[in-house]
């Protein structure tokens, strides 16, 4: 597996699907506009990184590591969705060590969330406050998860609440959390316009999961105000719409860089909160997510757009804009 950064595509951009055949019929694709391309990249170069989500424990991680080696799928980050509280210290330590051996970032979800507590509003048609942490105790639970996870060596935390994000960022600035801890915003509260995206960056986010249904033009609009890395399901779980944007992946990178390509699965049952009663499903879907990654990489190669991958082992986002923290 090559872990050196690959040069970015040429000025002409990637080959668009079917362009030669369609052009011969007078149906050539519209030209790509240089103004639509993101001017940003990851530190050290590279337009995109990869992420395998819903890796719910050491056994699923082992499947991902084995399958990614077999299929030659580079992995920058794996993330878990059930939460720090669903793992024992021994399980977290095993995952930290397994990822460290391959220089992969491990990201665990923080704390209590509204969809699992006793609040009735999340079960109404409006969805209420969704995953946000209700009350002081839920906020405190997220902080407890963050302190526990980072104490065991976890360097990336997934958050689904603006107040939790700001609180964890302040703790990071004060030194209560390690300075190199990164915060990833969940797809379930992802911003949908440039102003909200910039607010998440200012609150302390180091990568921000945008909904998978944003248009290409909206990618460009966001990139005009922020360079914070995007996370994007190029195939979204059904509870996030089930969108499959595989064929757009080259253009998504061109407009959204720096971008994490997340290999999700549609038409698959949810597994949060994970337990061993869901073991076979968790392992089979972990394996298939890696295969989806291979399909995406093959597609990029066929379109001449497989250059520009960030170096494996890189994880930090580079300089970002933050709100001032008052004393």
Domain ranges of the chain: 37-302
Token output for 248: 């757009």
pTM given for the model: 0.90
CATH number of 37-302: 3.20.20.70
Q: Which residue has the higher pLDDT, 110 or 3?
A: 110
- Would you state the pLDDT for residue 9? 41
307-317 pLDDT tens trace: 999 999 999 99
CA distance 151 to 153: 6
- Examine the pLDDT at 197 and tell me if it is beyond 80: yes
263-303 pLDDT tens trace: 999 988 888 888 899 899 999 999 999 999 999 999 999 98
* Nearest partner of 36 among 221, 227, 250, judged by Cα: 221
Query: Percentage of the chain surpassing pLDDT 70?
Result: 91
Residue 15 vs residues 29, 157, 173: alpha-carbon distances, Å: 10, 36, 44
CA distance 285 to 246: 18
- Would you state the pLDDT for residue 271? 85
68 contacts: CB under 8 Å, gap ≥ 6: 52, 74, 75, 290, 293
CA distance 161 to 8: 35
CA distance 53 to 108: 10
* DSSP state string for 296-309: HHHHHHHTT----B
% helix, strand, coil for the chain, step of 5: 40, 10, 45
């Amino acid at each position: 597996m090559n872990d050196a950064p690959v040069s970015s595509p040429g000025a002409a951009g990637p080959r668009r699907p079917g362009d030669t055949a369609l052009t011969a019929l007078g149906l050539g694709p519209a030209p790509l506009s240089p103004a639509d391309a993101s001017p940003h990249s990851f530190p050290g170069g590279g337009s995109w990184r990869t992420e395998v989500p819903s890796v719910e424990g050491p056994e699923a991680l082992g499947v991902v590591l084995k399958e990614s080696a077999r299929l030659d799928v580079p992995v920058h980050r794996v993330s878990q969705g059930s939460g720090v509280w669903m793992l024992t210290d021994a399980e977290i330590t095993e995952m930290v060590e397994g990822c460290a051996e391959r220089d992969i970032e491990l990201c665990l979800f923080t704390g209590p969330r509204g969809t699992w507590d006793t609040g009735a509003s999340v079960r109404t048609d409006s969805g209420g406050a969704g995953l946000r942490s209700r009350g002081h105790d839920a906020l405190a639970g997220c902080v407890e998860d963050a302190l526990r996870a980072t104490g065991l060596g976890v360097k990336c935390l997934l958050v689904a609440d603006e107040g939790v994000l700001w609180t964890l960022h302040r703790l990071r600035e004060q030194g209560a959390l390690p300075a190199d801890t990164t915060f990833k915003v969940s797809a379930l509260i992802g911003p949908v316009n440039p102003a909200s995206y910039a607010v998440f960056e200012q609150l302390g986010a180091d990568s921000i999961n945008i909904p998978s249904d944003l248009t290409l033009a909206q990618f460009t609009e966001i990139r005009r105000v922020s360079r914070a890395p995007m996370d994007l399901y190029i195939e979204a779980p059904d509870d996030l719409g089930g969108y499959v944007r595989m064929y757009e992946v080259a253009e998504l990178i061109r407009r959204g860089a720096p971008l994490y390509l997340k290999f999700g699965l549609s038409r698959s049952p949810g597994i949060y909160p994970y337990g061993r009663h869901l073991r076979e499903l968790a392992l089979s879907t972990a394996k298939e997510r890696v295969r989806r990654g291979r399909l995406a990489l093959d597609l990029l190669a066929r379109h001449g757009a497989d250059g520009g991958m960030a170096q494996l082992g890189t994880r930090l986002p580079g300089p970002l804009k933050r709100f001032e923290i008052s004393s």
